[in-house]
């Protein structure tokens, strides 16, 4: 009887109410509105259900549990598909006081569904000797051709593309003894997936024979790695350069409904110029894309009144740099000059104001000594000298 009483005392918690709160986020860390969160105790009794608000948050206030620990379960349904937070993500919490569940414990790993898909594999001869080389993926609709370097010859993921779903041509080139060998061009259908190891996603083995070089390889020379440079200028309304303005790159979100901040921020120099090197398009989950996306630049500044001001550029298209677009467009695609941003007058701060007049001052203005005061000083000096001369002359 004593042991039974002790067990019952352990199972039944104190009657004092407790509160627990948190936030449901998606795979990219964004809040999920409309998710269903269920609070359960250690005996799996449901203590309450809440729906997350616009900021993805939920809270259970002044709850009483008959058991000492509780946890939450979360799921979200969209387009008749339900996404669930794995139960092992969320810990068990004491049913007392005020408890806060970190967002990492209520994160939906499969939402939103991927907008892109992987194509990966290796190059090999017909007798399964793996080769290095350059692998090309051609978008059948646009003709845009992206390439990757297959330097790993162990037969695993020697090359990997992450691209929009659709039909592509896939082929490879291998350079040996001064000649280019090229495989057959095969069609591949890319479907959305977020992991090269996703179930049913098999690697492609590109068969490339070394019997004879390609008579008309495409392209005719071996490609090399390239780098994107994004640059631009921020000007005042009077066309003077705006120095010290903070600029940040943004790219379009995967579902094209918003903008995503990129990891590129700088301050304009004395000429109002900024430049970013090595910029590549990425998915919302920050995976490099062999694709293109629109990009924008935001100019952000604190004016002399301490007010934060923001002006946006118009967009330009950012391609993955290892791309063949045809008609000599690749150089322009890799050296993107963003449209100039014009910021209003009044953004100047005392620290940013020029100490000398700009060299491109409007016509008619002068730098150096002002002519009016200078002439006046000369006239006064001459009058003084003349007066002294007449005084001395009269005395003699």
- Mapping DSSP onto H, E and C, the string for 38-101 reads EEEECCCCEEEEEECCCCCEEEEEEECCCCCEEEEEEEEEECCEEEECCHHHCCCEECCCEEEE
- Domains of the chain by residue range: 2-106, 117-207, 229-343
- For 340, other C-beta atoms within 10 Å of its C-beta total 14
In 3D, which of 184, 151, 145 has the Cα closest to residue 163? 145
- Same-fold call for 2-106 versus 229-343: yes
Torsion of CA 52, 54, 59, 61, to 10 degrees: -110
270-303 residues labelled b (16+ CB within 10 A) or e (exposed): eebebebeebbbbbbeeeebbbbbebbbbbebeb
Q: What is the CATH number of domain 2-106?
A: 2.60.40.10
Render each residue's pLDDT in the chain as its tens digit; 396 residues.
Answer: 344 333 333 444 456 999 999 999 998 899 999 999 999 999 999 999 999 999 999 999 999 999 999 999 999 999 999 999 999 999 999 999 999 999 999 999 989 998 999 999 999 999 989 999 999 999 999 999 999 999 877 766 689 999 999 999 999 999 999 999 999 999 999 999 888 877 777 889 999 999 999 999 999 999 999 999 999 999 998 899 999 999 999 999 998 989 999 999 999 999 999 999 999 999 998 999 999 999 999 999 777 777 888 999 999 999 999 999 988 899 999 999 999 999 887 665 433 333 333 333 223 333 333 334 444 444 445 445 445 444 444 444
253-268 residues labelled b (16+ CB within 10 A) or e (exposed): bbeeeebbebebeeeb
Distance between CA atoms of 236 and 370, rounded to whole angstroms? 25
229-343 has CATH 1.20.1250.10 classification:
no
DSSP H helical segments within the chain, as ranges? 2-11, 330-334, 371-395
In 3D, which of 56, 62, 35 has the Cα closest to residue 103? 56
- For 166, other C-beta atoms within 10 Å of its C-beta total 14
Distance between CA atoms of 28 and 202, rounded to whole angstroms? 26
Class of domain 117-207: mainly beta
């Amino acid at each position: 009887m004593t042991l039974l009483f002790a067990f019952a005392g352990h199972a039944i918690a104190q009657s004092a109410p407790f509160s627990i709160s948190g936030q449901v986020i998606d795979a990219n860390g964004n809040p999920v509105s409309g998710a269903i969160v269920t609070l359960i105790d250690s005996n799996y009794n449901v203590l309450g259900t809440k729906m997350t608000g616009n900021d993805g948050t939920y809270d259970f206030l002044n709850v009483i549990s008959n058991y000492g620990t509780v946890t939450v379960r979360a799921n979200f349904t969209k387009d008749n598909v339900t996404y669930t937070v794995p139960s092992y993500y969320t810990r068990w919490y004491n049913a007392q006081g005020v408890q806060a569940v970190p967002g990492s414990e209520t994160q939906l790993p499969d939402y939103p569904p991927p907008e892109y898909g992987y194509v990966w594999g290796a190059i090999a001869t017909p007798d399964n000797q793996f080769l290095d080389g350059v692998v090309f993926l051609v978008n059948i609709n646009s003709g845009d051709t992206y390439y990757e370097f297959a330097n790993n010859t162990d037969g695993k993921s020697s090359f990997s593309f992450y691209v929009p779903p659709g039909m592509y041509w896939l082929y490879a080139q291998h350079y040996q003894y001064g000649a280019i060998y090229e495989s057959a061009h095969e069609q591949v259908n890319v479907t959305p997936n977020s992991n090269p190891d996703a179930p049913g996603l098999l690697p492609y083995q590109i068969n490339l024979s070394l019997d004879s070089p390609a008579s008309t390889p495409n392209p005719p020379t071996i490609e090399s790695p390239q780098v994107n440079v994004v640059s631009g200028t921020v000007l005042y309304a009077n066309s003077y350069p705006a120095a010290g303005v903070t600029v940040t790159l943004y790219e379009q979100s995967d579902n094209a409904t918003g903008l995503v901040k990129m990891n590129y921020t700088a301050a304009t120099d004395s000429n109002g110029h900024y430049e970013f090197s090595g910029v590549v398009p990425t998915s919302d989950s920050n995976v490099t894309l062999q694709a293109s996306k629109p990009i924008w630049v935001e100019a952000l500044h604190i004016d002399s009144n301490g007010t934060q001001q923001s002006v946006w550029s118009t967009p330009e298209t950012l391609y993955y740099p290892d791309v063949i677009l045809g008609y000599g467009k690749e150089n322009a695609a890799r050296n993107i000059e963003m449209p100039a941003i014009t910021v209003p007058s009044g953004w100047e701060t005392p620290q940013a104001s020029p100490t000398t007049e700009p060299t491109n001052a409007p016509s008619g203005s002068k730098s150096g000594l002002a002519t009016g005061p200078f002439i006046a000083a000369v006239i006064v000096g001459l009058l003084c000298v003349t007066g002294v001369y007449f005084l001395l002359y009269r005395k003699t």
